[in-house]
Amino acid sequence: MTLWWIADALLVLVVLPVVIYLLYGVLTAARSITPSVDQITRVSAAASKDLDAVPLLLTTKEQVSQTVAGVANYGGSLDVIIDDA
């Protein structure tokens, strides 16, 4: 009978606090991850929004090609007009 009471006391005074301590640690770790994930989500959303202008690079590419072509034509004319050094 006495051993039963000792076992009950051990369960309540030792095992239960240890279980609570370990579970509290897991919960605290999980809660600490949540703000980081939220921050990463905000940053990735902002980065994705910043890249909305990327398709304009295609326009830039076309305009650069046209500009270089115009410069080449102008250079060809200069090559004819001006004597060599």
Partner 1 sequence: MVLAIGPGTGMIVAFLLIILALVYYLVMTILELQKITTGLDATIKNVTEIVEKTAPVGEVVKAINADLDAGVDMLEGLLVKKAGLEDAVGLVDGLYPGAAAAGLRSFPESTEIVAPRIGEVYTKGTLTLARLGREAPIAMANPAGAALRDTQYSSASAGRLYRDVRNTRPEKLPRSPVIGADAPVQYEQRDDIGQPRRRLPAKPATHES
Minimum distance between the CB of residue 8 and partner 1, rounded to whole angstroms? Answer: 4
Minimum distance between the CB of residue 14 and partner 1, rounded to whole angstroms? Answer: 10
Q: What is the DSSP string of 18-78?
A: HHHHHHHHHHHHHHHHHHHHHHHHHHHHHHHHHGGGTTHHHHHHHHHHHHHHHHHHHHHHH
Can residue 27 be called a binding residue for partner 1 (CB under 8 A)? yes
Can residue 80 be called a binding residue for partner 1 (CB under 8 A)? no
Minimum distance between the CB of residue 4 and partner 1, rounded to whole angstroms? Answer: 3
